[in-house]
């Protein structure tokens, strides 16, 4: 690594860490602490429970601050270099804008890739733990009275052996309606079972009024059997099934894909899951795109002040997240394709970044 690269990265590191700390504090102060206070006042949550809630909420907050911090860091770093006439000296020495911005973009790409991994390996697990504390320690094991689009996975290691879908689960009657079950052998679907309903009786699930289809290696139906009543090959209790259900933000990318595939087989709208899955990539990649925007902006006149850089960052971030919220809602509602709705804010920011880079490189 050349001296120039080390120097620019050093200029970048301080503002980036400052941004992560500052933006995280804003999120915590305006949202997290308010919710925690409500759990204390309404439900009498213990100090231990709210402390765990606080720490489990951090990963989902921190990962959102990476793009913001990258924008702030690139603005402040190049604003300071430009204000001290160091950029002018570098460019007089034959160093192009693209060469100056290269270390920033490499760091930003690294932050984006790290964010994707962090979003997949840490955030879903911490979100699950956060919600379990609310349910088990604060709400005292309360479960929803009814849930729709239930998915039950029976795994052998990391391989799915059976995937069960229920259109609706009712806690009061301990029953499920609209059952569809797929059984797999080494990844190949070998049997499909469907039933009108299933009820929990004497520690077992009993299915009623159903059909069993055995499938050939080519996926064709080899044999069909009908039944009025049959034991359901699922040994999970109603409470376990209810607590096993995850919200989209609690799932890994792999789980999102599995749920999307299972729900599409039942002709259920999967837009919410698809938008969430695509945002697992689009939001982290905003770090790279914001660096593309922030670097040329930092070179503009009157950018040496950190307060100006912070103000510009907040305005850009505010606009970006408004667009992200609106496009995400349109994608979840089916007005926009999920892939397009997740990436629309980045496409707009990318277009702005390319324009600013072209202008700065003249």
- Give 267-278 pLDDT, tens digit per residue: 888 999 999 999
The whole-chain average pLDDT of the chain stands at 87
Q: What is the CATH number of domain 144-247?
A: 2.60.450
| Whole-angstrom distance, CA of residue 252 vs CA of residue 118 | 11
| Whole-angstrom distance, CA of residue 84 vs CA of residue 6 | 18
Q: Domain locations in the chain?
A: 3-128+273-360, 144-247
Q: How far is CA 15 from the centre of its chain?
A: 25
Exposed, middle or buried, 221 (CB in 10 Å: 0-12/13-18/19+)?
Answer: exposed
| Whole-angstrom distance, CA of residue 89 vs CA of residue 87 | 5
Exposed, middle or buried, 92 (CB in 10 Å: 0-12/13-18/19+)?
Answer: exposed
Alpha-carbon dihedral sign for residues 225, 228, 233, 238: positive
- Give 143-175 pLDDT, tens digit per residue: 666 788 889 888 777 778 889 999 999 888 889
Looking at residue 205, its pLDDT comes to 93
On whether the CB atoms of residues 294 and 76 are closer than 8 A, the answer is: no
| Whole-angstrom distance, CA of residue 323 vs CA of residue 341 | 10
Contacts of 49 (CB under 8 A, 6+ apart): 39, 133, 137, 138
Tokens at 114, concatenated: 């790290």
- Give 170-223 pLDDT, tens digit per residue: 888 889 999 999 998 887 889 999 999 999 998 899 999 999 999 888 878 889
- Average confidence (pLDDT) over 39-55: 88
């Amino acid at each position: 690594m050349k001296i120039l690269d080390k120097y620019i990265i050093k200029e970048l590191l301080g503002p980036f860490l400052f941004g992560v700390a500052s933006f995280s504090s804003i999120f915590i102060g305006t949202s997290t602490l308010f919710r925690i206070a409500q759990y204390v006042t309404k439900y009498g949550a213990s100090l231990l429970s709210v402390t765990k809630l606080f720490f489990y909420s951090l990963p989902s907050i921190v990962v959102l601050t990476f793009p913001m911090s990258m924008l702030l860091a690139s603005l402040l770093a190049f604003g300071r270099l430009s204000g001290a006439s160091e950029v002018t000296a570098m460019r007089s020495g034959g160093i192009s804008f693209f060469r100056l911005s290269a270390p920033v973009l490499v760091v930003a790409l690294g932050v984006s890739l790290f964010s994707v991994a962090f979003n997949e390996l840490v955030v879903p697990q911490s979100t699950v733990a956060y919600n379990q504390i609310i349910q088990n320690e604060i709400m005292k094991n309360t479960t929803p009275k009814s849930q729709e689009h239930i998915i039950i996975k029976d795994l052998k290691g990391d391989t799915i052996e059976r995937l069960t879908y229920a259109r609706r689960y009712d806690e009061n009657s301990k029953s499920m309606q609209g059952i569809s079950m797929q059984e797999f052998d080494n990844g190949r679907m070998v049997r499909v079972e469907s039933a009108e309903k299933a009820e929990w009786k004497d520690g077992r699930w009993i299915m009623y009024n159903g059909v069993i289809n055995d499938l050939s290696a080519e996926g064709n139906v080899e044999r069909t059997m009908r039944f009025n009543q049959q034991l359901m090959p699922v040994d999970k209790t109603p409470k376990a099934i209810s607590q096993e259900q995850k919200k989209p933000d609690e799932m890994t990318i792999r789980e999102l894909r599995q749920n999307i595939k299972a729900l599409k087989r039942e002709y259920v709208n999967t837009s919410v899951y698809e938008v969430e899955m695509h945002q697992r990539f689009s939001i982290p990649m905003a770090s790279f795109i914001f660096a593309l925007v922030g670097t040329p902006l930092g070179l503009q006149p009157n950018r040496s002040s950190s307060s100006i850089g912070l103000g510009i960052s907040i305005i850009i971030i505010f606009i970006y997240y408004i667009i992200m919220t609106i496009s995400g809602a349109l994608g979840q509602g089916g007005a926009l394709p999920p892939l397009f709705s997740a990436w629309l804010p980045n496409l707009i920011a990318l277009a702005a970044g390319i324009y600013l880079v072209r202008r700065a490189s003249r």
